[in-house]
Amino acid sequence: MVLYLKDLNLYNFKNYEDLKLEFSAGINCFLGDNGSGKTNLLDAVFYLSMSKSYFNSIDNQNIRHGEEMFVVQGNFETADKKHHVLCGVQTGQKKTFKLDKKIYERISDHIGKFPVVMIAPNDIALIYEGSEERRKFFDSLISQIDNPYLLDLMQYNHYLKQRNTLLKQFAEHNRIDRDLLAAYDEPILRLGAKIFARRQTFMLEFQPIFQGHYETISQYKEQTQLVYDSDCAVAEFSEVFRQNTNKDLALQRTTLGVHRDDFEFKIDNYSLKKFGSQGQQKSFLIALKLAHFEIVRQNKNLKPILLLDDIFDKLDEKRMSCLMQMVADHTFGQIFVTDARPERTQQIFAQIEGDKKFFNLQNGQIRNE
């Protein structure tokens, strides 16, 4: 099924005061100097899909400096329907998120309705940062295809936070109530088991698709491994968890569980972070993102909107031509691309057939289309 963002309207969002844009259902290029606001536009599209920024998780900081609120709104079109999505953030107030003028009671219900895949320079954090980044990547992906998973995850985090607060209070007041603590073990173990099982089945689906993309990009030069690593992967995890209570009390936090899960990235069985070349690392990231695209497409029968930030700067000839071949083959649906070098983008897309639109940006305004 076709999905595309028809238009976008920004009010006091980052460096934009008031902006209206109409998009092509095919390729849209944002061109302009450094700091002109190209990435901010991709982030606005990301907001409409995921109800948050890809780059800055503090909503308030996406309000234009000196202002009190921002509004991002746009119209998505699918095969037969049109949907209006609005996100409003005001300092000191709860975020407003609306679908067709109706406020969501639970914003998380929106996730997965209009899926996007972002490929951006800071994705390298997936390799270099701690396990939290990788969990976020896979959780956000699973949530797009399985909304109940997101609810389980939010509930799990809620109970985990309460259990950790309790552990700290016990230490502060020098008094331990084991029954009270055990009351939190039940939901944490129950939800944790569900999350563990979902991540496991997800990886079985994800791995071959990821590997296929990596092989294409690298032209079969090396083997990759993507290993799901969890405390829960032992027999009788509940027992192990309960026996660990004294350690939790001593360290004042819950030391075992799915909140510590990691996904190891390897090439020929060696750590990608420690031993991978820059090209291998880039290929790995692109393959992860293309697999993300493919998984959502298969599960929702919908091509996610692709957001490509500064991708031409980061890729070499081979990888570029691989990606551009996919664009030319119409593997993707709607695409948004940014580039600080207009001639390059125009040249790349000149050879590709289909609907295209170029936007030249300058200081938060459109110079011409």
Ligand X SMILES: Nc1ncnc2c1ncn2[C@@H]1O[C@H](COP(=O)(O)OP(=O)(O)OP(=O)(O)O)[C@@H](O)[C@H]1O
Q: Which residues bind ligand X (CB under 6 A)?
A: 14-15, 32, 34-40, 61-65, 310, 338, 340
Q: Which does 12 bind (CB under 5 to 8 A by kind): Mg ion, ligand X, none?
A: none
Q: Which does 131 bind (CB under 5 to 8 A by kind): Mg ion, ligand X, none?
A: none
CA distance 272 to 99: 41
SS3 99: strand
DSSP state of 153: H
Closest C-alpha to 193, from 226, 229, 161, 153: 153
Note the residue count of the chain: 369
Binding letters toward Mg ion, positions 25-54, x by CB under 5 A: --------------x---------------
What does the angle CA 98 – CA 104 – CA 105 come to, to the nearest 5 degrees? 155
149 touches 143 (CB < 8 A): yes
The residue number whose beta carbon is nearest to Mg ion equals: 39
DSSP one-letter string for 187-230: HHHHHHHHHHHHHHHHHHHHHHHHHHHHHHHHTT-S-EEEEEE-
CB neighbours of residue 214 within 10 Å:
24
**Using the rule CB under 5 A, is 254 a contact of Mg ion?**
no
285 touches 127 (CB < 8 A): yes
Q: Which does 65 bind (CB under 5 to 8 A by kind): ligand X, Mg ion, none?
A: ligand X
Core vs surface per residue 295-334: b (16+ CB within 10 A) or e: bbbeebebbbbbbbbbbbebbeeebeebbbebbeeeebbb
Shortest spacing between CB 337 and ligand X, in angstroms: 12
Shortest spacing between CB 351 and ligand X, in angstroms: 24
Nearest CB to ligand X, comparing residues 37 and 276: 37
Binding letters toward Mg ion, positions 132-151, x by CB under 5 A: --------------------
Shortest spacing between CB 55 and Mg ion, in angstroms: 9
CA distance 312 to 310: 6
Q: Which does 15 bind (CB under 5 to 8 A by kind): Mg ion, ligand X, none?
A: ligand X
333 touches 308 (CB < 8 A): no
Nearest CB to ligand X, comparing residues 64 and 266: 64
Nearest CB to ligand X, comparing residues 38 and 110: 38
Shortest spacing between CB 10 and ligand X, in angstroms: 12
Shortest spacing between CB 289 and Mg ion, in angstroms: 17
Nearest CB to Mg ion, comparing residues 226 and 307: 307
Token code pair at residue 353: 């057939």
Shortest spacing between CB 346 and ligand X, in angstroms: 16
Nearest CB to ligand X, comparing residues 65 and 101: 65
The site that binds Mg ion (CB under 5 A) totals a number of residues, namely 1
Nearest CB to Mg ion, comparing residues 29 and 232: 29
Nearest CB to Mg ion, comparing residues 189 and 361: 361
Shortest spacing between CB 341 and ligand X, in angstroms: 10
Q: Which does 37 bind (CB under 5 to 8 A by kind): ligand X, Mg ion, none?
A: ligand X
Nearest CB to Mg ion, comparing residues 122 and 162: 122
Shortest spacing between CB 361 and ligand X, in angstroms: 7
Shortest spacing between CB 300 and Mg ion, in angstroms: 28
Nearest CB to ligand X, comparing residues 115 and 364: 364
Distances in whole angstroms, Cα of residue 15 to Cα of each of 66, 226, 307: 11, 39, 19
Token code pair at residue 334: 């709607």
Q: Which does 35 bind (CB under 5 to 8 A by kind): ligand X, Mg ion, none?
A: ligand X
List alpha helices for 252-359, DSSP H: 272-275, 278-300, 311-314, 317-328, 342-350
Q: Which does 292 bind (CB under 5 to 8 A by kind): Mg ion, ligand X, none?
A: none
CA distance 18 to 208: 44
Residues that bind Mg ion (CB under 5 A): 39
